[in-house]
Chain A
Amino acid sequence: EAGVAQSPRYKIIEKRQSVAFWCNPISGHATLYWYQQILGQGPKLLIQFQNNGVVDDSQLPKDRFSAERLKGVDSTLKIQPAKLEDSAVYLCASSLESREDTGELFFGEGSRLTVL
């Protein structure tokens, strides 16, 4: 089966510019996550969707980050305006949401953002 797809793979922008990342989860996966992974750190959850509703966005810097999951499938994460400290890999992941949920998250390859 196809895995989680993300684009773009790499993005370089200057501070105060905006950027958007796209994610297409595995077909049939109700739950979608965006994680931020700064160099040398583990992934940190930014936002979790179940279908098209937000389950948890407590770690999302809402003054500059936004995310949506229209129609409960694809998702977009936007940063506007970007800061230097936003340089990171943005990982999208998806999982089943069912009684058989094993807790396994399936990750995309990530989108590497460099803010200059």
Chain B
Amino acid sequence: AQRVTQPEKLLSVFKGAPVELKCNYSYSGSPELFWYVQYSRQRLQLLLRHISRESIKGFTADLNKGETSFHLKKPFAQEEDSAMYYCALRRSWGKLQFGAGTQVVVTP
């Protein structure tokens, strides 16, 4: 069965410190993985997708098929990064399966 696991419910970091959000998945096919973010009082929105191999707002994520992971990283956290982050697996066309989410709190 497909599964997306985000082991940390809450991640508290200081401004300027590195932050890494863990995401592990189980899927027998070729996965498409995404990170979605929900800022306070805003809609859930796409942050980045693994196929783009891009950096968005300083965040990067690398798909590691050997470890079945897609961890999200940022070298220097900012206060505006405080949000709820969801890792998501696209099983087939359009069907996203989300993890439980990690709340990130960046303190000054």
Contact = CB atoms under 8 A, between A and B. Distances in A.
Interface of A: 3-4, 31, 33, 40-45, 48, 55-56, 91, 93, 95, 97, 101-110
Contacts of B86: 42-43
Query: Which bucket holds chain B's interface residue count?
Result: 20 to 34
Main secondary structure of the interface of B (DSSP, over half): strand
A67 to B, nearest CB: 15
Given A40-B9, A43-B44, A93-B44, 17 more contacts: A4-B43, A42-B6, A42-B86, A42-B88, A42-B99, A43-B86, A43-B98, A44-B98, A95-B94, A101-B93, A102-B49, A103-B34, A103-B49, A103-B90, A105-B94, A107-B43, A109-B43
Given A42-B86, A43-B86, A105 B96 contact: yes
Interface of B: 4, 6, 9, 32, 34, 43-46, 49, 86, 88, 90, 93-101
Given A48-B94, A48-B95, A104 B100 contact: no
Contacts of A103: 32, 34, 49, 90, 94, 96
Contacts, number: 56
Contact of B46 (A40, A55, A97, A105): A105
Nearest to B32: A103
A104 B46 contact: yes
Given A42-B86, A43-B86, A107 B97 contact: no
Contacts of B99: 42
Contact of A42 (B34, B94, B100): B100
Contacts of A108: 43
A45 B97 contact: yes
Contacts of B43: 3-4, 107-110
Contacts of B49: 102-104
Nearest to B88: A42
Closest 8 interchain pairs by CB?
A42-B98, A107-B44, A104-B46, A107-B43, A42-B100, A43-B98, A42-B99, A31-B94
